[in-house]
Amino acid sequence: MDFMIRAATPEDCKDISRMIMELAVYENMPDQVKISHEVLEQDGFCKNPFFHCLVAEVAEQYRTTEGYTVIGYALFFYTYSTWKGRSVYMEDLYVMPEFRGEFPGKGVGTALMSKVAQVGKEQQCVRLQFSVLNWNTPSLDFYKAKGAQDLTDSEGWHVLRFDGEALDKLAQMAPKN
Amino acid sequence: MANFILRKAEPRDVPDILRLIKELAKFEEMEEQVVLTETELLQDGFGEQPFYHCIMAEVPEDRRSSDGHTVVGFAMYYFTYDPWIGKMLYLEDFYVMKEYRGMAVHTQYIHSTAVKSRCSGMHFIVAEWNKPSIDFYKRRGASDLSHEEGWRLFEIDKEYLLKMSAK
């Protein structure tokens, strides 16, 4: 095998940060990335980490022109369903373009995702959830081929968010007790 | 005297949490989907690394429900992560028994969870047929990301999870 999947270390945060930005560029939202690799180090490697990460690393001879050997990552965390219990949520799955498809020992994305599934199963999780943008056809196809169901379609779920000013306003109305 | 108080859940609240989860599931017409047990709730919420946090709404004794409950609502949340902005709070479930609505318990929950966690944002999902809830959240400034940005929620269930992890 020409690549391996392993748990991320604090030293990997620079590479993870780089790839987070690459993924944001692909999703047409690069200006939305506000955190640095230092924040990732703090939040991912503290006592009760806020996320977990797996990285895909290739052998030296496959390193990129800029010298990178860490060429993919999956960032995930545990969530909870009041109906079914422990779940795993895969927040990001990314493989650098030159390592997709035809790359020797191909299937980096599949390997990363399978490892997330395995880690989840070890923690007794009953399901793996993630979100995909509706225009992202390559990803939609990739996931559907693995048996993923689109719950927005089948059950009508919408993702809502409070942030920035709306969150501040909300927080200001909290009871004092 | 206050109509109700909000407090952090304790292990002894687990039976009430499950009762209220089932009531909410009944409202969403999915009661038979609740397979979670009190044992799991206890392990998962009060172990070394909790999978969830819970806030309970409790009324004084003289306002207890017809079937004798003083715990009349709950909000369950956990922390998630946005690789672009960092720590997030995710509001999983949020419910008040019918006879105790209108006291702004719902509103207080959201405020309470938002202020305690110093997170950059709060996410949650709502079924698109649940118009009263969608209006409630939008009035308070929530944005519908499925509409605005095109996000679709996906799930891989147990059967396929097993297949994938066996590779």
Q: What residues in B contact A129, CB-CB < 8 Å?
A: 153-156
Condensed to tens digits (0 to 9), the pLDDT of residues B72-113 reads: 999 999 999 999 989 888 888 888 898 888 766 666 666 666
Query: What is the ipTM, given to two decimal places?
Result: 0.83
Its domain, for residue B66, covers 5-124
B12: CATH: 3.40.630.30
Question: Which of 80-139 (A) contact B at CB < 8 A?
Answer: 80-86, 89, 91-92, 110-111, 113-114, 117-118, 120-121, 125-135
The count of domains in chain B is 1
Burial (CB count within 10 angstroms: exposed 0-12, middle 13-18, buried 19+), residue B57: buried
β-bridge mates for residue A149, sequence order: B155
Q: Has residue B35 got a pLDDT over 80?
A: yes
How far does CA B142 lie from the centroid of its chain?
16
pLDDT confidence of A138, banded at 50, 70, 90? confident
Please indicate if any CB of chain B lies within 8 Å of the CB of A75. yes
Beta carbons within 10 angstroms of residue B98's beta carbon: 11
Residues A3, A7: Cα–Cα separation, whole Å: 13
Q: Has residue A103 got a pLDDT over 80?
A: no
Condensed to tens digits (0 to 9), the pLDDT of residues B102-130 reads: 766 666 666 666 555 556 667 777 777 77
Catalytic (active site) residue B137: yes
| Strand, coil or helix: B130 | coil
SS3 string, A98-164, reads HHCCCCCCCCHHHHHHHHHHHHHHHCCCCEEEEEEECCCHHHHHHHHHCCCEEHHHHHCEEEEEEEH
Residue B69 in domain: yes
**CA distance to partner chain B, nearest, from residue A161 (Å):** 4
pTM across the whole model: 0.81
CB A17 within 8 A of CB A36: yes
Residue B27 in domain: yes
